[in-house]
Amino acid sequence: MRDGAQQEGLNLSVQDKLHVARHLDDLGVGFIEGGWPGSNPKDTEFFALAAKELELRTATLAAFGATRRAGLRAADDPLVAALRESGAPVVTLVAKSHDRHVELALRTTLEENLAMVRDTVEHLRAEGQRVFVDCEHFFDGYVANRAYALEVVRTAAEAGADVVVLCDTNGGMLPHQVEEVVADTLSVGARLGIHAHNDTGCAVANSMAAVRAGATHLQGCLNGYGERTGNADLVTSVANLELKLGMQVLPEGALAEATRIAHAVSEITNYPPSARQPYTGVSSFAHKAGLHASAIRVDPDLYQHIDPALVGNDMRLLVSEMAGRATIELKGRELGYDVGDDAERLGRITERVKAMEQQGYTFEAADASFELLLAEEMEGARPSYFDVESWRVLAESSRGTEATVKLRAAGQRLAVIGEGNGPVNALDHALRQAIEQLYPDVARFHLIDFRVRILDQGHGTDAVTRVLIETSDGKDAWVTVGVGPNMIEASWEALVDALTYGLRRHGVPVGTA
């Protein structure tokens, strides 16, 4: 929670950090680095509250800090005192291991830097704390001055550090380099760890290489958070260790919580999760090509490297212009429809999907609209809770936007005027006000995302517009699609689908109030 919090645009409150710590503990990690007490008031407050409020079951809290300053005794350095007084059972000390950083950044001698490492580790150990030493810029330092980099590791280990962590601080190493350096460094006799950054896109691969070479401690950040391009993704690293290398590193069954926890932390950080994130992304086990679907129908393992349930994820089938009959059949089964028992109907649905995709619709991102299409084909009529007579939008720069909706529902005729900060917002308000009188469930529906894409841009103002709308009832979310000659018509179609799907999902019978 220290290195990860350095990500651009990520700002955690003390309460946020407490929530994240609980999620990490649920995942079963061994240690949680909570921050740098003494460096800023927020981290100092976190450790004070953690001692009172955190009841960790599997994890141990670690405080981060630096070795004592040059010319001071560790016992007299106020920043070392903050680590000592943090209440954390473990201290992670960052130490310089690159000779040029010692001379240019610390502005001290190589000998004094070794003394700083030795004195600080011995002092904190004598105070009853376990100590990890992070050798900053170790791999670059090893290339520049192998003997000195190894001497820093030896000094830390002899002073009593539980583990000495080799840091690829600039993230410039490749896996074969990491494996060679770690194997050589083991000759010092220390227990080694790895701390990898992702600047070459190899943070996870470098972590795996270090473990293969003999490292037994791995540091990472959930969702790959971190400065610049981030740190090694913790879940990806752990899943690789357990599922690919056969190492039991989490409590039994904890890995199955990985997707839930990764997404929960994304909500806390307000940093949207990557759909393509390994193991936990919503697209990690998504299949679009018809060829894949045909194989999956026979055996899901044919196009999946693991069972998604092992990490708490699900397989998804994407309906698109690439979809074949197998995709439609499997997707229908996923939604509760057995469309495979009627070859003619299955062919008709497949062709309809392809024709609509040609017009600009996309169902791979709009499962709700596809389910309504499927219901129409399977049940003989599209689900409908209201019949629209007309709708109109009036925009005036001085008065805002006004929309009028006239419809019939449950035997009543309703005409409602809605106001909003734009045409779509005004239409949304008017439509909701109209049908909420008859279907109270609508009050729970909220538009949470709105995306517009102009198709065939070369046609200028005649271009086709596609709108995707995501709606939530506070518990679940669904996406609908609309296509039209302009944004307002496309949005209207997506809005109608969104409310129709929501009422259907809530089990409201069609045509009742």
At 163-182, the pLDDT tens digits run: 999 999 999 999 999 999 99
Q: Which residue has the tokens 């219901």?
A: 375
Half-sphere exposure of 83 (CA within 13 A, CB side): 31
> Is residue 185 scored above 90 in pLDDT?
yes
Grade residue 361 by pLDDT with cuts at 50, 70 and 90.
confident
Question: Could you give the angle at which helices 367-379 and 325-334 cross, rounded to 10 degrees?
Answer: 90
Q: 10 Å Cβ neighbour count for 211? A: 24
Q: Which amino acid is at 208?
A: M
Grade residue 398 by pLDDT with cuts at 50, 70 and 90.
low
What is the model's pLDDT at position 318?
53
How many Å apart are CA 250 and CA 257, to the nearest integer? 11
> Is residue 485 scored above 80 in pLDDT?
yes
Highest mean pLDDT among 11-20, 209-218, 475-484: 209-218
Q: CA-based angle 326:332:335, to the nearest 5?
A: 145
Q: Which amino acid is at 295?
A: A
How many Å apart are CA 507 and CA 117, to the nearest integer? 66
Share of the chain above pLDDT 70, in %: 90
Burial of 354 (0-12, 13-18, 19+ CB in 10 A): middle
How many Å apart are CA 405 and CA 257, to the nearest integer? 45
The per-residue b/e assignment along 110-142, b for 16 or more CB within 10 angstroms, e otherwise, is eeebbbbbbbbbbbbbebebbbbbbbbbbbbbb
How many Å apart are CA 362 and CA 449, to the nearest integer? 16
**Which DSSP letter does residue 231 get?**
B
What is the model's pLDDT at position 375?
84
Query: pLDDT for 205-260, tens place per residue?
Result: 999 999 999 999 999 999 999 999 999 999 999 999 999 999 999 999 999 999 99
If one compares 460 and 38, the residue with the highest pLDDT of the two is 38
| Helix (H/G/I), strand (E/B), else coil: 473 | coil
In what side-by-side order are the strands of the sheet with 446-455?
A: 446-455, 464-472, 477-484
Torsion of CA 252, 253, 258, 264, to 10 degrees: -110
Q: Which domains are assigned to the chain?
A: 4-269 (3.20.20.70), 286-358 (no CATH), 387-505 (3.30.160.270)
